[in-house]
């Protein structure tokens, strides 16, 4: 640490520039991770809040809840218990007097089943009548209030906002909970339509082969949400590449710096300074660079978090960001492998010439 | 008592037709309390002699003993430890770590070798004698060539080694400093019972030597 710190103090500009690169990389990684996390949550917040294990959809729905149609006769063949609920998902546009239009997902549920029962209302109350709805609190940011009457899609029926719930989003849109009967109307479904899906908190529901339904684990279902996997994979790739870039930055810079110090190291080796001291100095330097970069990167991320508009779907998960930071520290340790090989091969003879 | 002994040392570089015989049947010994001067022009094999005597390079044949310990029988780590404990090097180039202040050059030595270094009084005396007491907070780039060389000498002495190898220690010094350095090395040998071995082409150091060797085309002989 002694040699590493003294050198960084002496070569302030050089090391400030290297640290600045790590700051930018770590900041970008943190922001991308938060964005990925935010988008993932906005895709699945509602599903996660239901705390379900399985989803039953129409066999031909290609794992899409909005495309799935479960008929009354199909529903009758499924045993509906306390841990089972029906759901109908309909994409809607919310309109209200004086407020901007908001794209949302109408989720029709049975008020006696666990989804509606378990929802935690943050303001107002749960719907009692069929024309009452419970909305995600992001609608408040668009100007909607409790007691406001809203229209859905091009329909002329008024629905009353009875309350708000936090973090209820599906397919990156706020969820509006209402009666399953309303969802049927919004979906323009025929008389045989019962629901889009049956969700279950318990173990897998056994379906007969000819039911025309298919059981998915919640993990499978989430993976196949439209755009979800593509989005997440893109972010994972970007974060991965940034990790590789930081690995290359650390490795290349430390390699160049080590090459420039070989004569000094050779003198120290001649004087009997153990190679371990020089190896430790190289590792310390790498860690100092990355940790300094991470500290500033974290501060910038914190600053960004406090200023970022709420419309930007970012979620700053400290445990996840800590894992990413640890990943960068590991990358820093990998980056010293080549410089360390150079250090261990320093030949003191090279500096004694004449 | 013999501190450094070289017996029938040969050193070759290269193979077959390209083989160069750098040292030929070199025999050398240095005693405690003695200043030995190895004089020779550039390319005579001085540096190879120094690296072999100092345990940095192994000879092609022959035997090197430091304090009666055969270097051939030691592993690299043991040689490293021996150099750290018993030998101080004063090298011509790159001797100082550029990003350490003068005082930190000594701190580094202290961190590596925690015990057996000069005590404060002796260290103060050495830096005063070398005229570097006022330079402790300076970086090497802020020093003249002569000042750098004197700091390098002080650093080699800081770990209080029994044997001091110096490679052209007066190369960058004016005549007055040569006298001071010559006296210092002589004082170290005579009054502090060290073995001082200097390889140089600076004839001005001759008057401080107890034993003088000349090296020419890899052949060493005592004058």
> Does A1 contact chain B (CB < 8 Å)?
no
CA of A270 vs chain B CAs: smallest distance (Å):
6
Model confidence at B196, pLDDT cuts 50, 70, 90, reads very high
- Decide: pTM greater than 0.80: no
Q: Is residue A218 part of a domain?
A: no
Tell me: do A245 and A165 sit in the same domain: no
Residue B147, pLDDT above cutoff 90: no
Partners of A265 on chain B (C-beta within 8 Å) are none
Q: Do the chains contact at B94 and A268, CB–CB below 8 Å?
A: no
The ipTM assigned to this model is 0.80
Which stretches of chain B sit within 8 Å of chain A by CB?
42-43, 46-47, 50-51, 54, 56-57, 77, 80-85, 87-89, 91-95, 97-100, 104, 107-109, 111-113, 139, 156, 167-168
Chain B residues whose CB is inside 8 A of the A353 CB are 47, 93
User: Would you list the DSSP string of B83-95?
Assistant: HHHHEEEE-SSS-
**Separation of alpha carbons B148 and B151, rounded Å:** 5
Residue A150 lies in a domain: yes
Chain A positions in Cβ-Cβ contact with residue B77 (cut-off 8 Å): 274
Residue in chain A lying closest to B90 (CA) = A271
A196 with A67, same domain: the answer is yes
Tokens of A156: 């002329």
Pairing of strands A121-124, B61-66: unpaired
Taking the CB of residue B197, how many other CB atoms lie within 10 A of it? 28
β A149-152/A132-136 pair status: unpaired
Residues A27 and A82 occupy one common structural domain:
no
Q: How many domains does chain A have?
A: 2
Give yes or no for residue B131 having a pLDDT over 90. Answer: no
Residue with tokens 């006022």: B134
Q: Quick one: A92 and A176 in the same domain?
A: yes
A45–B contact, CB cutoff 8 A: no
Cβ of A264 within 8 Å of Cβ of B94? The answer is: yes
Nearest Cα residue to A222 out of A35, A86, A39: A39
CA distance, residue B1 to nearest chain A CA (Å): 23
Helix (H) or strand (E) holding A57: strand A54-58
The whole domain housing A162 covers 54-203
Contact of B83 with A271, CB cutoff 8 Å: yes
Cα–Cα distance, A283 to B51 (Å, whole number): 29
Asked whether the beta carbons of residue A349 and residue B57 sit closer than 8 angstroms, the reply is yes
Question: Which chain A residue lies closest to B91 (C-alpha atoms)?
Answer: A352
* Cβ atoms of B68 and B2 closer than 8 Å: yes
Provide the domain count of chain B: 1
Is B96's pLDDT higher than 50? Answer: yes
pLDDT (tens digit, 0 to 9) for every residue of chain A, 354 residues total? 888 999 999 999 999 999 999 999 999 999 999 988 888 888 889 999 999 999 999 999 988 999 999 999 999 888 888 889 999 999 999 998 888 899 999 999 998 899 999 999 999 999 998 899 999 999 988 889 999 999 999 888 999 999 999 989 998 899 999 999 999 999 988 899 999 999 999 888 888 888 899 999 999 999 988 888 888 898 889 888 888 888 888 888 888 888 888 888 888 888 778 888 899 998 998 899 999 999 999 999 999 999 888 778 888 889 989 998 998 899 888 888 888 998 888 888 877 764
pLDDT over 90 at B144, yes or no: no
| Shared domain check, A68 and A134 | yes
A89/A164 same-domain check: yes
Quote the crossing angle between the two packed helices B102-112 and B145-158, to the nearest 10°: 20
Residue A102 β-bridge partners:
A94
Average pLDDT of the segment spanning B18-44: 91
Q: What is the pLDDT of residues B150-182, one digit of tens each?
A: 898 898 889 889 999 998 888 777 888 888 888
Shortest distance between the Cα of B160 and any Cα of chain A, in A, equals 12
Residue A301 lies in a domain: yes
pLDDT digit string, tens, across residues B201-223: 899 999 999 999 999 988 999 98
Report pLDDT for B146: 79
From residue B115, alpha-carbon distances to A2, A277, B112, B153, B159 in Å are 18, 17, 9, 19, 8
Q: What is the extent of the structural domain holding B95?
A: 2-222
């Amino acid at each position: 640490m002694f040699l590493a710190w003294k050198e960084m103090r002496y070569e302030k500009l050089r090391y400030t520039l290297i640290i600045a690169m790590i700051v930018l990389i770590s900041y970008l990684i943190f922001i991308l991770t938060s964005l990925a996390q935010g988008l993932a949550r906005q895709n699945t917040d509602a599903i996660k809040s239901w705390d379900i294990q399985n989803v039953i959809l129409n066999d031909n729905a290609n794992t899409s809840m909005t495309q799935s149609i479960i008929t009354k006769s199909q529903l009758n063949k499924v045993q509906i218990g306390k841990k089972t609920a029906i759901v109908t998902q309909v994409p809607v546009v919310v309109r209200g007097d004086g407020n901007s239009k908001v794209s949302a997902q109408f989720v029709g549920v049975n008020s006696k089943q666990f989804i509606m029962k378990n929802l935690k209302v943050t303001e107002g109350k749960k719907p009692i009548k069929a024309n009452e709805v419970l909305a995600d609190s992001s609608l408040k940011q668009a100007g909607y209030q409790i007691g406001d009457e809203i229209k859905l899609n091009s329909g002329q029926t008024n629905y009353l906002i009875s309350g708000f719930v936090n973090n209820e989003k599906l397919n990156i849109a706020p969820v509006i909970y209402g009666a399953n009967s309303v969802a049927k109307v919004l979906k323009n479904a025929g008389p045989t339509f019962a629901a889009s899906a049956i969700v279950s908190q318990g173990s897998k529901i056994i379906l007969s082969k000819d039911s025309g339904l298919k059981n998915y684990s919640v993990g499978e279902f989430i993976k196949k949400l439209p755009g979800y996997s593509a989005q997440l994979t893109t972010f994972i790739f970007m974060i991965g590449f940034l990790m590789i870039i930081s690995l290359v930055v650390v490795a290349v810079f430390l390699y160049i710096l080590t090459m420039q110090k070989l004569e000094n190291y050779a003198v120290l080796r001649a004087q009997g300074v153990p190679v371990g001291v020089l190896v430790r100095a190289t590792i310390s330097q790498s860690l100092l660079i990355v940790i300094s970069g991470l500290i500033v990167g974290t501060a910038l991320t914190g600053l960004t978090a406090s200023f970022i508009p709420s419309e930007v779907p970012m979620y700053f998960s400290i445990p996840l960001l800590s894992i990413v930071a640890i990943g960068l520290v590991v990358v820093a340790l990998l980056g010293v492998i080549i410089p360390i090989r150079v250090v261990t091969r320093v030949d003191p003879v090279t500096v004694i010439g004449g | 008592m013999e501190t450094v002994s070289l017996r029938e040392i040969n050193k070759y570089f290269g193979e077959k037709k390209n083989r160069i015989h750098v040292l030929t049947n070199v025999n050398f010994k240095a005693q405690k309390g003695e200043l030995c001067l190895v004089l020779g022009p550039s390319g005579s094999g001085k540096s190879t002699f120094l690296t072999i005597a100092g345990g940095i390079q192994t000879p092609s044949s022959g035997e090197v003993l430091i304090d009666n310990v055969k270097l051939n029988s030691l592993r690299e780590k043991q040689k490293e430890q021996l150099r750290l404990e018993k030998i101080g090097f004063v090298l011509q180039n790159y001797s100082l770590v550029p990003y350490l202040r003068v005082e930190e050059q000594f701190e580094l030595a202290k961190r590596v070798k925690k015990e057996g270094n000069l005590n404060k009084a002796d260290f103060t005396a050495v830096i005063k004698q070398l005229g570097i007491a006022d330079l402790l907070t300076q970086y090497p780039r802020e020093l003249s060539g002569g000042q750098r060389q004197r700091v390098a000498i002080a650093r080699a002495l800081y770990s209080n080694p029994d044997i001091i190898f110096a490679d052209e220690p007066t190369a960058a010094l004016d005549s007055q400093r040569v006298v001071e350095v010559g006296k210092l090395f002589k004082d170290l040998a005579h009054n502090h019972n060290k073995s001082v071995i200097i390889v140089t082409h600076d004839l001005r150091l001759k008057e401080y030597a107890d034993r003088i060797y000349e090296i020419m085309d890899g052949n060493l002989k005592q004058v």
